[in-house]
Amino acid sequence: MSFLPPSSIGILGGGQLGRMFALEARRSGYRVVIFTDEPAGCPAGQVADVEINAGYDDAEALQQFLEEVDVVTAEFENIPDSCLQAVEAVKPLRPSRHAIYTTQHREREKLFLRDRGIACAEFRIIENVAGLEAAVAALGRPCVIKTAAFGYDGKGQAKVGEDTDLSEAWKAFEGHHAVVEQWVPFIAEMSVVGARAVDGSTAVHGCVENIHEHHILDVSISPARVPPAIETQAFALWQAVADGLGYIGTMAVEMFVTANGRVLVNEIAPRPHNSGHYTIDACRTSQFGQQLRAVCGLPLGDASQHTPAVMVNLLGDVWRAELTHPDWSPVLSHPDAKLHLYGKQVAKWRRKMGHFTVLGETVEQALSEARRLQATLPPREG
């Protein structure tokens, strides 16, 4: 089924990804309704036609939301399954409940990858310290313990080193399922962001090289500085995940590149992704434009990149104080820099407040300009 304006699109979630998607949808004449458990005035709510603020288990509020919308999508994956089921029973949910349910939980995601023969780090699923001991014996040290549910940006993870005491390490995970992963000595982290339409056609934007700081994305470099053989593997992995999930919408797959030229899937994000923000300024159709087309059952656009680009994340750390902006003039006065702010008032430490993208004739040029501008925004004293 396809939807044209002035159809109403419902978005589950109220963060910056929902905001940038809502802006794209409204620019194209759609009506946007946000359902979020955040307080009123959240980043997506600020730019929506309607904002409903209620718990994801609030059946009455959900009913009201479903009456308002023609089609529904999600801007983050940690939505209770009961809510996804209630939505999908009444309205098209794109991506589907199955795709979100599979990828919102590391254990299900890993089992999906294993079932499909999609390359990822070797892993074991465990639920107690005996399981941890067996997993570490099998996978070797170092390795990483990750909570199965609701982890993001490195939260809910612990590295097991040569001297780590396993009973001590397990304490943080007690009572939960966890995934233990073999340590991947990667030479680069990368992601592929792309979209799959209702008819199964796909379009990827390209490979992006990602550099993290404190487990949070810091800089995305696009196109990634990797050989064609790596790109080919990465696109094949993205395609296998998208087809395997019967995916509809924009999806990101985060990957590791190893020294011996292998590419492994790290994580799947069933939504537009931070590492795809450069597409707004550097691609013919952005990740949000593709999400809109896919969710509405329309043909995908040309995803190709027209200009090399580097995106720099702006965390609350670079605000002078929680309510005081830094001096944006170097970024604002740069002819090739595009500043995007998310409408969040309080610049908490490590909170994603915005990003800027720097375009360049070459990726190296964009990177050096991006780093130069980033240096004008030092973090405040912790």
Say which residue the tokens 């404190």 belong to. 214
- Which residues partner with 74 through β-bridges? 12
The verdict on 154 binding ligand AMP (CB under 6 A) reads yes
Smallest distance from ligand AMP to CB 142, Å: 8
CA nearest 312: which of 179, 203, 221? 221
DSSP secondary structure code for residue 250 in this structure:
E
Region 187-246 residues binding ligand AMP, contact defined as CB under 6 A:
189, 212, 215
Smallest distance from ligand AMP to CB 355, Å: 17
The verdict on 295 binding ligand AMP (CB under 6 A) reads no
The verdict on 78 binding ligand AMP (CB under 6 A) reads no
Smallest distance from ligand AMP to CB 182, Å: 6
Rounded to 5°, the CA angle 218-223-226 comes to 95
Query: Where does this chain touch ligand AMP (CB under 6 A) — which range of 177-185, 284-292, 306-314, 335-343?
Result: 177-185
Among 17, 72, 135, 184, binds ligand AMP (CB under 6 A): 184
- Looking at residue 197, its amino acid is A
Region 109-128 residues binding ligand AMP, contact defined as CB under 6 A:
121
The verdict on 266 binding ligand AMP (CB under 6 A) reads yes
Q: Which is nearer to ligand AMP, 212 or 325 (CB)?
A: 212
The verdict on 317 binding ligand AMP (CB under 6 A) reads no
HSE-CB of 127 using CA atoms within 13 angstroms: 4
Say which residue the tokens 């994956």 belong to. 77
Q: Is the distance from CB of 244 to CB of 251 less than 8 angstroms?
A: no
DSSP secondary structure code for residue 37 in this structure:
S
Smallest distance from ligand AMP to CB 366, Å: 22
User: What contacts 83, CB < 8 A, 6 or more positions away?
Assistant: 12, 56, 57, 62
The sign of the CA dihedral 163, 166, 168, 174 is positive
Among 11, 34, 118, 144, binds ligand AMP (CB under 6 A): 144
Instruction: Report the interface residues with ligand AMP, using CB under 6 A.
Output: 121, 144, 146, 151, 154, 181, 183-184, 189, 212, 215, 254, 266-267
